[in-house]
Amino acid sequence: MGLRRASLCFLTALTLPSPALAYEAEVSATSDAQFYTLRSPWGDPVVRRRRYTQSLALHVTDIQGDYVPFGPQLSFKARLRLDADFGKEGYERDPNLPGTFVPGLEQSPVDVMYAYLEGRNYLGGWVGFRAGRQYVTDALGWWSFDGGLVRLTTPAYFQVEAYAGYEQRGGMPMLLGTERYAGDGVYRGNRDELELNQYPYFLEESKLAPAYGVAVETLGVHWVHGRLSYRKVINRDRVVVSPFPDTGDGFERVGGDRISSERLGYSLRLNEPGLGAVRGSIVYDFYNQVVSERALATDWYTTETITLGADYDYYYPTFDGDSIWNWFTHSGMTTLLGRAEWRPSRRFDVVLSGGAKLFETEGDSGSYGTVEQTGADPDRSETGRLTDALANVAGRYRWSDGSVGLRGMTEAGRRGHRVGGDVTTTQGFGNGLYDTLAIVSLYDWEDGLRPSRSATSFSYVLGGGIRPFDETRFGVEWEHATNRLVGQRYRVLATLDLTVLR
């Protein structure tokens, strides 16, 4: 009786009218199911992918109270994700089965993609902040960390941003992170079930990697925008040095603070609406002591419907400071492209681009092989160059409830080629209630190093969806590809997007 009364009181309390709240909340969910199968180039093993991805997001705005234009605003955003693959077999995850075990394979990892509290326009509009797991995007790349960021907006056409915290990494205790944002070049993950001598090349996943950065950015002027950013990430975990099993001498480890990455980047855009634009960026890697990226792009708005441009891009691979590959000889690759865009109407536009990609080596690969090299440090004074030719075309025509698009590309050089294209059409029906998709592709590729892996592929995708309510969509896609390497391959994708609460 007492329990019933208590329940009644509780329910009554829940249903009592409460004062109106200023904030708005939205809960959305996405579900994706994918089914397909991959086969080793030698036919076996066969990898079955039975993937189910679920994300759940919460977004609360105007936590501060009633919205006032240009006044303080406080919001909270978070997204949680489950990425399950039920095709991952038990024998692949059992370390006692070395013939089939794959280190680091988790069947259903969960991660918090982002979760942060954001404030804007505080202290008269001068101060903004973020606290929690968040992204930073600039010339240094797309990156995520857990911590705090403060942004100072000045009336002098620039703002200053400073942040500190921990890089998002897979091993962060209780924080459900992924390795996606950690520096590359080190194979690591959860070693909880592994002995020291099992898979020593698979390092213990890193936990807390302190990171901090600062950026100065122009603001408010539309014809110019520049951002100077500096960021440093520190490895702090003790990790095994040798990737080989111990034969009695014991494992050596390194620990203490050491650089994971330390980079300075600057990007600049200048544009004049009646003339064109220039965009450039440069990144200097302090650990590798090299310029790891530089780019320059120019666009000339030749007429109101035609834009001509040229792009230069240089990329030198760098890795996490723990990785040996930073110090293996390697070169940057340079891409040069000319580009023409034609927009005769709002509905139709087409772009053509073409150019070259340059690869470099220390020593000329053409002549070097004529010299017997058996362990001596080779003569690498010459620089060898290899060039691939590139060409791309992309166009689309849109109408009120549909579109057709074309994409074609080729990249060809001494080591082989890729050439092909696809045509994509979309069409809606019933005033947006239904949508359909069709993609037809034809690609041909030749692998100069492995001629047996050259093939021509024809494939198509048919898909459709229904939107029974606003921001709710259920869709299905069917993909069928055929080429001589795999015969027939099928893939099914089902998606469900829901906004369940506002």
Partner 1 sequence: MTRLAWLLAVTCLLALGLGLGADSALADAKGAAPATTGPRPVHGLAPLPGDAPVPLADRPPGAFTGDGGPSPIIFPPQQLTVRFNHKKHVKELSLTCTTCHERAKTSTESRDSLLPKPTRCDACHGSDHRDLGAVKTDDDALISQCGFCHIGYQPGDGNKVARLVVPRPNLKMNHAAHVKRNIACSQCHGAVEKLELATRDQLPRMRGCFACHQMPGPARGEARGDCVNCHLTERGGVMKTRFDTGLLKPPQWLHDSGHGPDWIERHKQVAGNDSRMCSSCHQERFCTDCHDGRVRPRKVHPNDWISMHPTAARQNNPSCTSCHRQQTFCVSCHQRAGVSMSGPYANYSGRGRFHPPPSVWSSPPRSSQHHAWEAQRNMNACVSCHVERDCATCHAKVRRGGRGFGPDAPAGVGDSGFGGQGVNPHPRNFRDRCAGALRGNARPCLVCHDPRDPQLTECR
Scan residues 11-30 and list those touching partner 1 (CB under 8 A).
24, 26
- Work out whether 413 is an interface residue with partner 1 (CB under 8 A): yes
Beta partners for residue 51, in sequence order: 34, 85
Secondary structure letter of residue 363 according to DSSP: B
Q: How many helices (H) and strands (E) does the chain have?
A: 3, 26
Residue 207 CA to residue 238 CA, distance in Å, equals 10
Residue placing its CB nearer to partner 1 in the complex, 148 or 395: 395
> Could you say which of 350, 462, 466, 498 contacts partner 1 (CB under 8 A)?
350
Task: Kindly identify the residues of this chain, within the stretch 463-492, that bind partner 1 according to CB under 8 A.
Answer: 479, 481, 483, 485-486, 489
Q: Least distance (Å) from partner 1 to the CB of residue 409?
A: 9
- Strand pairing class (141-153; 127-138): antiparallel
Q: Least distance (Å) from partner 1 to the CB of residue 296?
A: 9
**Cis peptide before 243, with omega less than 30 degrees from 0?**
no
DSSP codes, 214-265:
EEEEE-S-SSEEEEEEEEEEEE-S-EES-SS--SSS---EE-S-EEEEEEEE
CB atoms within 10 A of CB 171: 19
> Could you say which of 175, 422, 427, 472 contacts partner 1 (CB under 8 A)?
422
Cβ atoms of 226 and 149 within 8 Å: the answer is no
Residue placing its CB nearer to partner 1 in the complex, 79 or 166: 79
Q: Least distance (Å) from partner 1 to the CB of residue 10?
A: 31
| CA dist 296 → 223, 229, 286, 310, 433 (Å) | 17, 18, 21, 8, 44
Give burial (CB, 10 Å; 0-12/13-18/19+) of 370.
Answer: exposed
Residue 312 CA to residue 310 CA, distance in Å, equals 7
Q: Least distance (Å) from partner 1 to the CB of residue 455?
A: 7
Residue placing its CB nearer to partner 1 in the complex, 7 or 338: 338
- Candidates 1-9, 11-19, 33-41, 206-214; binding stretch for partner 1 (CB under 8 A): 33-41
- Candidates 1-9, 11-19, 31-39, 206-214; binding stretch for partner 1 (CB under 8 A): 31-39
Q: Which two tokens stand for residue 231?
A: 């960021």
Residue 281 CA to residue 295 CA, distance in Å, equals 5
Q: Least distance (Å) from partner 1 to the CB of residue 485?
A: 6
Residue 132, phi-psi category: left (phi > 0), alpha (psi -120 to 50), beta (remainder): left
Q: Least distance (Å) from partner 1 to the CB of residue 425?
A: 11
- Work out whether 344 is an interface residue with partner 1 (CB under 8 A): yes
From residue 272 to residue 301, the character string flagging contacts with partner 1 as x (rule: CB under 8 A) and all else as - is -xx-xx-x-x----xxxx-----x-x-x-x
Residue placing its CB nearer to partner 1 in the complex, 10 or 379: 379
Residue placing its CB nearer to partner 1 in the complex, 13 or 156: 156
Is 148 strand, coil or helix? strand
From residue 365 to residue 404, the character string flagging contacts with partner 1 as x (rule: CB under 8 A) and all else as - is xx-xxxxxxxx-xx-xx--x-x-x---xxxxxx-xx---x
Q: Which two tokens stand for residue 362?
A: 């220390």
- Candidates 5-13, 14-22, 206-214, 322-330; binding stretch for partner 1 (CB under 8 A): 322-330
Q: Least distance (Å) from partner 1 to the CB of residue 38?
A: 6
- Work out whether 302 is an interface residue with partner 1 (CB under 8 A): no
Residue 19 CA to residue 65 CA, distance in Å, equals 12
Q: Least distance (Å) from partner 1 to the CB of residue 155?
A: 3
- Work out whether 407 is an interface residue with partner 1 (CB under 8 A): yes
> Could you say which of 362, 438, 472, 476 contacts partner 1 (CB under 8 A)?
362
Secondary structure letter of residue 368 according to DSSP: H
> Could you say which of 328, 429, 434, 478 contacts partner 1 (CB under 8 A)?
328
Task: Kindly identify the residues of this chain, within the stretch 124-153, that bind partner 1 according to CB under 8 A.
Answer: 124-126, 135, 137-139, 141-142, 153
Look at residues 187, 228, 178 and name the one whose alpha carbon lies nearest to residue 319: 187
- Work out whether 249 is an interface residue with partner 1 (CB under 8 A): yes
Task: Kindly identify the residues of this chain, within the stretch 90-129, that bind partner 1 according to CB under 8 A.
Answer: 92, 98-105, 113-114, 121, 124-126
- Candidates 8-16, 206-214, 355-363; binding stretch for partner 1 (CB under 8 A): 355-363
- Work out whether 63 is an interface residue with partner 1 (CB under 8 A): no
- Work out whether 501 is an interface residue with partner 1 (CB under 8 A): no
Task: Kindly identify the residues of this chain, within the stretch 168-227, that bind partner 1 according to CB under 8 A.
Answer: 170, 178-182, 184-189, 200-202, 217, 219-222, 225-227
> Could you say which of 80, 176, 282, 349 contacts partner 1 (CB under 8 A)?
349
3-class SS letters over 387-428: EEEEEEEEEEEEECCEEEEEEEEEEEECCEEEEEEEEEEEEE
Look at residues 188, 16, 44, 35 and name the one whose alpha carbon lies nearest to residue 103: 188
> Could you say which of 51, 207, 236, 473 contacts partner 1 (CB under 8 A)?
51
Q: Least distance (Å) from partner 1 to the CB of residue 17?
A: 24
Query: Which element (helix H / strand E) includes 7?
Result: helix 2-15
